[in-house]
Structure 1
């Protein structure tokens, strides 16, 4: 997350008068310049002074001083009553933020300074937030982010990501299980054991600096298998700590154990951070990842070596792919709130209202009308110069700021706005056609598709692959905060998991030993309260479903 600074928050109350139908919007009437300190997720200082940033400043009169969110720093700020003026609320902190009067109710503010928030499109979202994200006060403390539907874009980024030229070299082997994944990677490493400069190549690794105690990586195989706390394969809740047959955690353990047995597990697998994985991909010492993100730089260089060289996501005809779904709540841990420290909440609301409006959402994801996109024959469309700039990447593209504030927009990329176009105007077949490079062309030709994500999309439409459409996102987002006793249990269980998983994977020489070590760790997790946590979660889940009328 990042922080925007709100100093001098004491200018006059200025109501928004922007034209909601025109993305090339006039500035808020008589808006005096002001600097806002706002906590935002995943947007950093480098967004400042981009084209999109400056346009937000021009329209709202707000200068945003960004600072990246840090959980430990947030705890200190919260304890000391030193929160920024605007924050994006971590869901686990909703109760203490409200009970401690750290954030203010917004019901009256949206009437005077939230014209876009009061539009009918947000009615269900605001009702949801009042009911589930208000600590039972039924007041509006937050404004949602990324409401609406999600769908496949140009490429499916999360999945079994490997070297396409190596996969092609093997004859496009069918991958129907975790075992098949490991076997494919093993054969790739056998054929390409060293980099050009003599470094040893590994098939499997993991980054360990995302999520609570770094446990995101330990659960990551569930993003392929569909196993997890809510199991999309069964439509049921599963104790992912203790049920090895339906758990993303234990799918990851199995994947890494088999890789270790085959000699293709990176020695840094349990210590590497995300940037280490990026470096390994760039130097050619790693052949797979759970997503395309770490290999973006590597792909740019590999394409220079040959038209079919690079990393791609192999579409599997089973399991799960992390896309789709519709949510009225929006993204958790992202909803906007105004701190009780703010001296002028009206101007803070002016900013939030713009960011979650149609105009603001389009600006964030597609840039400035007349500069980055235009209305052509009555339809909004990206300028080809902008599309080319995006394809080229680099500093010139970064300077636009397009897409850098996606965690702050009100509507999802695939939401159709009142002008008939998507929020993200890059999500059209016309733009996709311009993005296809030689690697994409080779991939598309094999799968018989027009753009990469269409390969996975076909399997989803055929019912072979589950998506977020099968995930009860609004139920899970409405779950009550964990009581302190449950928080302590989860922290202890995750700590044991992080310490114990290397023993299970690296300390097992045979399948029998793997089972023994797995059973021993599961027993420790049970003794630490894993079943108690799951019992609480099941009850809270069912009660929340009933409140939503889904029971």
Structure 2
């Protein structure tokens, strides 16, 4: 998942197409041990199957990868891929598809010609379905049990979900999801919470900032302190892209996360702690309506950008980069303004994340991919090197494999500093090589060529040293962030969220549920979505609290008449059914 958002046009959240998630998880803190295993020790621990010694006989495996970056040749010659060959004996031939032309068309042609490679990594559901229905790929459960202990250890829940969702009723797992368990962690900012100007907060005397009402007071004082940006443009507290389809879904983005809800679909929440469906729009005192009242107050106080009614996502980001907003609904929502502040070497400004009045546990701060990134791995039936393919799968499901692909080689790309891996500094006097990743190898095939995306290694450090490691960001904090960390005794800004043991969510099943296409219920959903796009902003723009109350009453009555409870009941019933099915698969 790429950090940031393209807007929430398809029902909240920039990661829905990839966020089939399995189970709540928080970062586990473990003390770092004395070091990493040697290459030979690692090879034995991650390559051998149950009771088997690793096979290091040289072999070349043909791999079709529908998202593979264009390669300079069929076989990549770089330190990382050469190290893969050294540790496993396996060389990868990318020639079945090297990132040029139409991937779906190319794979369909390979299927038609019965000329499938040794391994397929593919995101297109139609061709994956074709592979399964034509019995061109093999079930993986027994092979994994016999040959791939790292898969069984690191992604078992994702396998169970794949069996439920991807196997067309067959009692077997045919597809392994990629980059399982990755968490979109960045030490300097959360994707799911308010970010506010800490330098302005300090100037106003560091007032209490624990609730939505406190945030409104902050907004009022911030506009007094900085009514215009450096270019003389008027500033506001917030901007909302109401002109985007479902742009209204930004309204409860933060409040629902603080309260422990995930806004899956337009009409429902997932109650994270209780793992239950809850109404989103037609429960008059929930996170959504508290958010609606909050933004109505912001509008009445002049804190909401009045152009919000006609703005799209990119316009909000552009204004955020120009520092015309004092609060962001997330860093990406206002264009990562700290990057702008850093580039200008500003001596005091900086945005930091806030907890507000969040729950003590079972919140939603980090986006997670416990069921993968939308890439599905399958093994063709007629392959000649199936055991070696399982050896490769076992390696890319290990922490050793993911750390190699993300970071490269110790001594060459990174070093241990105080027992923790730290990437080597780039020589600032050397020009940036546009082919550097290709030549180096690390990050070039990751994250699309790993199965295990777990972001905390059993060694205790973050597996992705480049972006996830707090040490990586030490030189990239604004002065405002530095002051914030100093004031609160933090090593990095988001460390405050680690007081919540459970801070992501199990949304795999709920995100996959939808009424049958063209059904009566699907048509009701379409009508309701159109109504929401046309009416929610009008409620926010109510001129008085009395007008807001009247508009809310009419809105709830309209939703009731359009059958919203029937839709909520559908998701509730279907979700409970699928939970039971998944439980049976895990136990089986």
Q: TM-score, normalised by structure 1?
A: 0.72
2:488 aligned partner: 447
Cα distance in 2 for residues equivalent to 1:403 and 1:525: 48
Cα distance in 2 for residues equivalent to 1:207 and 1:371: 45
Cα distance in 2 for residues equivalent to 1:349 and 1:500: 53
**Greater alpha carbon shift after TM alignment, 514-523 vs 165-174:** 514-523
Distance 1:202 1:118, change over 3 A: closer
1:107 aligned partner: 139
2:271 aligned partner: 231
1:496 aligned partner: 531
2:423 aligned partner: 383
Compare relative contact order (CA 8 Å, sep 6+) and give the higher one, 1 or 2: 2
Q: Deviation per CA, 1:458-486, whole angstroms, max 9, x where unpaired?
A: 4x36xxxx722xx4446646x65543334
Cα distance in 2 for residues equivalent to 1:274 and 1:54: 39
Secondary structure of the 2:403 match is helix
RMSD: 5.0
1:519 Cα deviation from its structure 2 partner: 2.8
1:127 Cα deviation from its structure 2 partner: 3.3
> Are positions 1:131 and 2:164 aligned together?
yes
1:202 aligned partner: 236
Q: Deviation per CA, 1:283-340, whole angstroms, max 9, x where unpaired?
A: 122222121235565323424454331211123242475346988x524x62414599
Q: Deviation per CA, 1:201-221, whole angstroms, max 9, x where unpaired?
A: 1211134699x8556534423
Gaps of 5+ in 1: 3-17
Distance 1:124 1:413, change over 3 A: closer
Say which one has the larger Rg: 2
Contact 1:163 1:287 survives alignment (8 Å):
yes
Cα distance in 2 for residues equivalent to 1:208 and 1:36: 41
Cα distance in 2 for residues equivalent to 1:504 and 1:168: 34
Distance 1:102 1:152, change over 3 A: same
**Greater alpha carbon shift after TM alignment, 177-186 vs 422-431:** 422-431
Q: For 1:276-355, what aligned pairs fall within 5 Å after superposition? A: 276-294=315-333, 298-303=337-342, 304=344, 306-319=346-359, 321-323=363-365, 329-331=370-372, 334-337=374-377, 355=396
Q: TM-score, normalised by structure 2?
A: 0.68
**Greater alpha carbon shift after TM alignment, 186-195 vs 271-280:** 271-280
1:423 aligned partner: 463
1:161 Cα deviation from its structure 2 partner: 0.7
| Residue of structure 2 aligned with 1:245, choices 285, 295, 304 | 285
Distance 1:169 1:473, change over 3 A: same
Gaps of 5+ in 2: 3-41, 48-53, 85-91, 113-119, 264-268
Cα distance in 2 for residues equivalent to 1:501 and 1:66: 43
Distance 1:350 1:488, change over 3 A: farther
Contact 1:207 1:271 survives alignment (8 Å):
yes
